[in-house]
Amino acid sequence: MVLRRERRMTQTLQVKSRITDYPIIFADDVFQPLNQFLAEKGDVKLLFITDQTVFDLYQPLFRRFQQDYDSYLHIAAPGGQSKSLEEASRIYDQLIRANFSKKDIIVTVGGGVIGDLGGFVAATFYRGISYVQIPTTLLSQVDSSIGGKVGVHFKGLTNMIGSIYPPNQIIVSTKFLDTLPEREFACGISEMIKIGFIHDRKLFQQLLAFPKDRNQEQLRQMIFQAICHKKRVVEKDEFEGNLRMSLNFGHTLGHAVEALCHHELYRHGEAIAIGMVFEAKLAVQQQLLSQQDLEALQAAFEAYQLPTTLEAKSMTAEALMTVLKTDKKNSGQHIVLILPTTEGYISFPIAKHDNHLLDWLRSLLDIA
């Protein structure tokens, strides 16, 4: 996806964490902030983790990495199937063969799958080594790279094994978005719509207007706003006590959809869009949200060709219920949904044995 370029923006945000503070650096040239970080570390080895798609697009970048640093490279297959204990095990083997020590560093270059996978390995190798995230997709730049959530899928269940382990540095370059397919760009917009709808209606309105007049500076500003909101939320509630749960709007159902389609039929941002519309419809039914707000949310997704309901016969309500009962956000015998309201959001627990949810899935998603 190519956008009109205007003036550059160089900014740094410092994220406060109870584990370790870390900067988010906006830079067209990823080497400058990376070099500054490594200058403080002395003689270290680096493992760059990426996927085949990113490697093929940016081979000159990886050649320069290998020329400039004492470095190794791990290339995973693209897609959610690489976010697994099996792929993590292959990386552990490579680290051990290369005699990596506690002081050495992992650098992830890719989207959310690579960031989560590499962060998980960093969190668990030697009980924790340093890592840097260079997110290359819109979704990973505004969402998954920030806040320290790392992990892998397990037995078809999304993000079932993981931890909260912040990176030492995040380097955001919107230049990577020039090669991002439209579908992946829309998936990132899906997460930005979530942030705007719950936390910043002005940003939400800007996203509605953006498809009509795209340019790099406008996108940079919206990315910066979205990141500022994510930063504020994770600083106040790093371990998901309450406020950070707002970022799970759409994710309870969305993760179930991803799991049932094996992370293939729907991309993450698409599944989350379906989840958000479902939860917004339920909020309208519970008189927590206006019909006008629901229609605005649907219009935003439709502006980016994002799905708002499931394809016919792609999955059943019973299958969704089975996966929903295993969601890590559940509390005791309750499935927890995050419902939008006219003034924000609420946590909405539903008993696992309550057939109302099954009926809502059938009626609001129009499935069997």
CATH code (residue 358): 1.20.1090.10
Closest CA to 209 of 191, 198, 196: 196
248 is catalytic: yes
The model's pTM is 0.92
Task: Evaluate whether residue 237 is within a structural domain.
Answer: no
What distance in Å separates the CA atoms of residue 345 and residue 249, rounded to the nearest whole number?
Answer: 8
pLDDT value of position 217:
85
Going by the annotation, the residues of the binding site for NAD(+) are: 112-116, 136-137, 149, 176-179
Question: Which one of 83, 153, 199, 230 is the catalytic residue?
Answer: 230
Check which CATH number belongs to the domain holding 169 and give it: 3.40.50.1970
Do residues 155 and 263 share a domain?
Answer: no
Task: Evaluate whether residue 60 is within a structural domain.
Answer: yes
Do residues 125 and 253 share a domain?
Answer: no
CA angle 224, 229, 235 (to 5 degrees): 120
Residue 333 gets the label, from left (phi > 0), alpha (psi -120 to 50) or beta, of alpha
Cα-based distances in Å from 158 to 5, 126, 150, 324: 37, 25, 12, 11
16 is catalytic: no
Sequence-distant contacts of 324-329: CB under 8 A, at least 24 apart: 324/252, 324/253, 324/256, 324/357, 325/352, 326/157, 327/252, 327/255, 327/256, 328/159, 328/160, 329/245, 329/248, 329/251, 329/252
Residue 213 has pLDDT above 70, yes or no: no
Question: Which one of 217, 240, 325, 330 is the catalytic residue?
Answer: 240
Q: Which domain holds residue 310?
A: 249-368
* 90 contacts: CB under 8 Å, gap ≥ 6: 74
Task: Evaluate whether residue 3 is within a structural domain.
Answer: no
Closest CA to 50 of 68, 25, 71, 36: 71
232 is catalytic: no
Do residues 267 and 175 share a domain?
Answer: no
230 is catalytic: yes
Cα-based distances in Å from 68 to 38, 43, 157, 201, 362: 11, 12, 39, 44, 56
240 is catalytic: yes
Task: Evaluate whether residue 146 is within a structural domain.
Answer: yes
Do residues 67 and 165 share a domain?
Answer: yes
Do residues 47 and 137 share a domain?
Answer: yes
pLDDT tier for residue 264 given thresholds of 50, 70 and 90: confident
Query: Which of 157, 179, 201 is the C-terminal boundary of a domain?
Result: 179
Going by the annotation, the residues of the binding site for Zn(2+) are: 191, 251, 268
Query: Which of 179, 200, 220 is the C-terminal boundary of a domain?
Result: 179
Residue for token digits 């990495």?
65
pLDDT value of position 263:
77
Chain mean position to CA 170: 14
pLDDT value of position 20:
95
Reported residue count of the chain is 368
Counting the structural domains of the chain, the total is: 2
263 is catalytic: no
251 is catalytic: yes
Do residues 28 and 131 share a domain?
Answer: yes
Average pLDDT, the chain: 93
pLDDT value of position 141:
98
Task: Evaluate whether residue 359 is within a structural domain.
Answer: yes
Mean of pLDDT values over 143-153? 97
Around Cβ 241, how many Cβ atoms within 10 Å? 9
Task: Evaluate whether residue 325 is within a structural domain.
Answer: yes
238 is catalytic: no
Question: Which one of 87, 184, 191, 270 is the catalytic residue?
Answer: 191
Do residues 35 and 172 share a domain?
Answer: yes
Residue 207 has pLDDT above 50, yes or no: yes
Query: Which of 179, 201, 219 is the C-terminal boundary of a domain?
Result: 179
Do residues 266 and 152 share a domain?
Answer: no
What distance in Å separates the CA atoms of residue 144 and residue 127, rounded to the nearest whole number?
Answer: 22
Task: Evaluate whether residue 279 is within a structural domain.
Answer: yes
Do residues 264 and 146 share a domain?
Answer: no
Question: Which one of 7, 97, 127, 212 is the catalytic residue?
Answer: 127
Task: Evaluate whether residue 348 is within a structural domain.
Answer: yes
Of the chain, the percentage scoring pLDDT greater than 90 comes to 81
